[in-house]
Each structure stands twice: as C-alpha cells, then as structure tokens.
Structure 1
Amino acid sequence: MIPDFLVSFDTETLPCEEVDFLIAGGGVAGLIASLELKNFKTAVLYKNGLSETCTYNAQGGIATAIAPWDSPDLHKEDTLKTGCGLSNPTSVDILVREGVDRIKELISHGLIFDKENNEYHFTKEGGHSCRRILHINGDGTGKAIAEFLYKKVLVEKNIKILHSHFLVDLISDEGQIKAALVYDEKKKKLVLIKAKAFILATGGAGNIFQETTNPTSISGDGIAIAYRCGAELMDLEFYQFHPTTFYQAGAPRFLISESVRGEGGILRNVKGERFMSAYHSMEELAPRDIVTRAIIDQMKLTASNCVYLDLKKIKCGLEKRFPAIYSFCINYGIDITKEFIPVRPSAHYLMGGIKTDLWGTTSIGNLFACGETACMGVHGANRLASNSLLEGIVFAKRIGIKAKEKLGLKH
C-alpha cells in the first residue's frame, strides 16, 4: 500500500509561509509559468540549481514551424506519426499552432537564435520532414533559454526563487491541495508552504534507470507526490530512450544531440558498417524509437557495447556548431573531427506523467502540472525530437492563464 506521506509531521509546529502560487521545478515550464503569474506572490522551488534542470542540459533546439517552407500542419503530421498514432490530435494542434506565437514572443523579448547569412538557421532531426529546429550557440539551446528566462524571473519582485528546497509532499483537504511540505536543505528542516494553487514542473524520472541523460536530481518525485495525493497518471509505460549518448567506462551518458545526425552524422557498427538503411527509409533521421531499436539490434548482432557516430562528412565547423559536444569529447580523449564517437541508447524522456487537460488541470483541485511531469497526450508513445521545450513553453503559459482564471484573479 502506498503511504499518504513520506515523513511524519505536525502542521501545528512547522514554520509556515503563504504565497499565491507555488511552483515546484524551475526548468522552462516552471519559469514560463512563474512569468505568467508575475503579478502575484509566487515561489519557485529548485531542488538543486538551474544547471540541474533538463532544460539547461537540452542541446538540439526547439521545433517550431516558422520557416517559409514549413507549416503547423506539417509539424502536426510529423508529431502524430512519430507518436505511433497514440497522440491526442487536439493537444498536438495546440502545440504546433500556439508554439509559433510563443516562439515569436520570446524573440520579441530578446531571445536570439542562431543565424546564417542573416537568416535563422534551421536544423533537421529525427522524424521531421523538413528543417525546422531553431538553436542557440550551436548545441547550447536549453542552457541559453533557461538563463534567458531565469534572468527575466530574477527582476520580478513578486517571484521568489527558493534554492535547495525539495518538495516532499502535498497536503489535501476534501480533494483540494492546501499546502506543500518542503524540505529546506540548507537549514535542514521541514517547512509548510500554503498557496492558492500548486504547479508541478519537476521533470521526468530518468534516474529510475541505470543509464540516463538526465541530471541526477530528476527522479520522478513530482509524479509520485501527485500519485500519493490521489492524482490520475497516464502513459507511464512510454519512456523514450535517446539513441545516441556518449559511451565510455566511467563517463556520464552525455547526450550527443540528434542535430549531429541532422547535419550529416552517420551511424556505424563496431565493424565500421552503416546500418540504418536496413531499418528505415529515413536512415539516421528515423524517429528515435526506431533508431534506438536499430542500435540495440546491432549491438547484439556484433556482441559490442556500443555503435559509433561518424561526423567526418559534416561540412560545418564542428567546434563552432557543436561546441559543448566537441569540448566534452575532447575531455575524454576523442577528437570528433577525426575520430568516431562511441554511443548507445540511454533513458531520456517520459512521455507519460500526471494526467491533465489542455490547460494543465489535474484530477485534484488546485493542482496543475506541466512540462515532462505532465501528460496531456502530445507525445503519444514516442516524442518527436525537439518538441519538449516547445511543450513546456506552450502549456506552462496556458496553465498560468487557467490558474488565474480558476481563482478569479484578473491581473
């Protein structure tokens, strides 16, 4: 039997704070939600720092249909196809259409994407039928977006950032969440935070697996907390394994971005042979589930621990286009301009999560969820590459709007 709470406590004796909105998690979803609620007393909890969010570590980019050769309908088609027929078409429609507006808003507020010859440079990733991935600083998109939003949050007087604060449990009364039990790691004590509404944006659950691209703090705790207080969950069986993470004994499973293959990277088995044409017509740019299965199949057939990524045919300067990947590999003795990168799949992204409607509302009163923590059916059984940051931005904005509306707040 699942316990109601992880620890025993007495609400009468705990230190207590009150806010209008409490947001657990400060990746792209949590930060966007907080900015939408900036006119109200809002607290954002960070288990660790900004750099320990999945957003900060996202490399490839963000998918949005703003190129002249692209359209939201085409983006929707690619998303539905990659989701293996299990995506919610209405959710996907919101993602691709409102996503265009949200990205244009961020650009108007000063976010700068990479350009080539004074035009936005779009890359291509697995499952996409055209180049539509915007990126920043080559392979530093997530870091740039996280820092951009974090700086916006810091100047808002109503938003309070609480570092080293770990959400332990939510406290409900008659089907409504009333307070959060939070552990202040610096002071080594529990605190009670009351709020009018609570937003979970705690990411996925990568660290339930032995090998993952996720930071060590991403452990599924937000989803477990919601479950303990009675929230409905959805699609937890769908966990995406990214095909290409760095493989070397003792090294972290560092993500080798899909955009590397989008720019011409080739997968080879331990014998040096290309193999993706035997599995899918899109070869290296097939959807992630297909590439992952192909790599595992090749590892079994050749009795090897990994396959290899060959970047020698990429024409753009690798040090400039993929500076983080280049630097990481150099630190482990591999010059990607001359040598293959050893790679294999690792747990990357949870398609399921806390079940929500199209506005982030859960089955529990006063509780919302967004980003990887939530599931409203956008990704189906398999997420399309670079749709994650877009989902966080689009649906966190909607949560902010709905939370104010439900509580009768007008600012």
Structure 2
Amino acid sequence: MTTYGNNRTIEGIWIVESAKIIAGVARIVQDVSIAEDLAQEALVIALEKWPESGIPEKPGAWLMTVAKRRAIDLLRRNKLRDQKYEEIGRNMEFKMKMDYDSIDEEINDDLLRLIFTTCHPVLSREARVALTLKLLCGLKTDEIAQAFLVSESTIAQRIVRAKRTLSASKVPFEVPRGLELSRRMSSVLDVIYLMFNEGYVATGGENWIRPKLCNEAIRLGRILAEILPGEPEVHGLIALMEIQASRFKARIGPSGEPILLQDQDRALWDYLLIHRGFSALKRIEQIGGAYGPYSLQASIAACHAKARTASETDWQEISALYDALAQVAPSPVVELNRAVAISMAYGPAAGLEIVDALEVEPSLKQYHLLPAVRGDLLAKLERNEEACAEFKRAATLTQNEQERALLLKRATDCVNVSPLKDFGRKI
C-alpha cells in the first residue's frame, strides 16, 4: 500500500476511534483539551510507525494504549512529588500491558463522561455543538464551519474558548447524578438533535440538506442509546432521527430542490431506517413511563411513515400528538407545527386562526416558516394575493438558496392561478 493509501486508512481509523481515545485519556488527566492533544500525539506516532510495521490487528486499542501511556508520563512529569498522581500512574500502568482484549472494558463509561462534559451548561449552545462535533464525531474544523456557514476561524476560536471554559470552571469529567443528570440529559439530547436538524434542513447555503451532519448525529445518538439503554427519551430521539433520515432520497429533486413531504415518492424512503425507528419506539413502550418531547415527535414521524400515500396520513392522530407535545414542551415553533396538523385534520381556516395568533410572538419575527405556513394556508383558502405576499416575505427571511427558490416559485404560482383552476378548486 502506498504512503497515501496508508495515511487515508489511518485517517479512517482515527475518525472511528478518536472519541473513545479522547474519552479514555480525559478520565486520566481530567482535562478535555489535554486529552485531545495526547490523543493527537498517539495519531502522529501511528502515522510514523504503521507504514513500516503495518497496521495493528486492533488499531484502536493500540492508539488508546499509546495515548494513555503518554498521559501517565505527563502526570509524572507535572506531579512527580504528588503521591496521588503517582498512585494513579502505577495503577494505570499495572492495568496496561497492551492487553487488547480488556482495553475496551471502560470505553462506554468514558464516552458517556465525554458526552456530558462537551454538553455542559457552562458552555453556550453553539460551543457545545462545535465541541461535540469536534471531539465525539471527529469532524474537522473546516467541516464544522461549512456545516454552520461561519468562518473556520470562528469555529476554531469557539472550540478553543469552550475548552478553556471547561478547564477554568473545573468541570469534572463525570456523569452527573440525580436532578443534575436529568438537567444535563436534556442538554445532551438537544445538542444531538440540533446537529441533526442543521443537516436535515440547512440554515443557509446552496444545499437544503447535509446528510453527513445527520449521520454523525445519529451515530452519536446510537452510542448514547447503547450506554443508557434505560432512558426512554434517548430512544425517542433515535427513533425521531432515523425515521426522518429515511426520507433523504425523496426530499430533494435532481437539481437539489426541496420536495415537500406530501409530494415525495415514498418508494424512495429507506424502510430499513423506518423499521429501526419503530423498534426504538417499541423499546420506549417496554421501558414504560410517560412520553417526553422526543418520543412524541418520533410518534408523529411514525404516523407519516405508516401512511402509504400522503392522502392516507392520519392527521387527526398527528394533531392529537401535537396537542400532547404542546403540553409537555410548549413553544411557539411547536404551536406553529400544531397549526399545520390542525389545518390538515380540520381545515385551513382552523389552522390559520392559530397561525394568526402567533404573528405577535417576538421569537418568530424572523422565522421564515411562520409566513411560509401562513402563505400555504391562505393559498388553500384561495386568498392568493395575500398568500403571494406571505411567500415573498418568507423568501426574504430564509438564508437557504434552495428554500428561497421554492418559496418564490410558490409566490409566482399564487399569482398565476387561472380562473379555471379556481373553478376546479371550488368543485
């Protein structure tokens, strides 16, 4: 294999194994930033040695061992006279003799600690997402910047500040307990779903979807589900992401243009992912307990997945689920989605009444989907001039080029409705 081929293979191994290695080292040094540096040092050693010696049978275990040994050396250099660190070093060295069969024993616990550390509330939401993508998903700084349409330097600074904040705040590398666990769990799930959502409907740029970002969020969610099998909302989030991800091939046309749910070719849906999502929902039933926000959203997605055609969708059940979601996790965005479900179940006038009440909501003032939904409902009520104005307003608010083009097309369609089409609608 060529040097280029070796490096590509090692890079692939690193993407898969890096989060485990950083997590394992962070438990020793109690500092995420130092752990990442030591893991990177292990990667450099691998890049030097593996092209000559060959890639080990268990490359992840090899990298973990090297990184942990460097961590112990660092502790000894920095805290040579500190008996506590000496003891940690001796204990860790005793455990580590390149025993590849036992090295994975504590990986899950370490990964869980790393997830809760990167999603600590002391960090801003943007910082949590950037750090999680970097450390747990293995994305490069330029890839994260591209995904969120900001400069690479901005993301780099965000990650550096996040690490410094964690260090300065002395955030413990541990899984919280009791009420703190519940509070932090919500933050962890929110970060994962925010990552998925940015890939599912991109905030801006030329592409409407970014599957890689969604896939990384799903991968992280699956890790969390393996580590915390008894948490219903973890399975709810997995179910939601997998059912939504099943529509990828049907969500965009040949030129990358968005295809709305009711217009999608459902034969293109990935029914293996849908089946996985249904299995996750069944797991929630087995665990028992009340459905949380992600479990309810997953149930809504499942209603769509069960319908063979758009016309067979059970909108009354979906509207009832949105009523429950509005009770569990009330928000203007949930209310807007509830309005859509109500309009499909009971007519556009009923939905428009809810949407009109949201016009005064400050948090939706720059939210392009508010005028987009209002335009759709007005069009169904044949108030075409008003609908056209709403679609144009929505187009000015979105930063995504494909979505803007769709909204402007819908505005044009409203203007071009012929008397014959109007007559046909009334019949």
Interval of TM-score (by shorter of Structure 1 and Structure 2): under 0.3
Query: TM-score normalised to the size of structure 1?
Result: 0.26
Query: TM-score normalised to the size of structure 2?
Result: 0.25
Task: Give the structure, 1 or 2, with the largest relative contact order (CA under 8 Å, sep 6 or more).
Answer: 1
**Which one has a larger percent strand, Structure 1 or Structure 2?**
1
The structure whose Rg is larger is 2
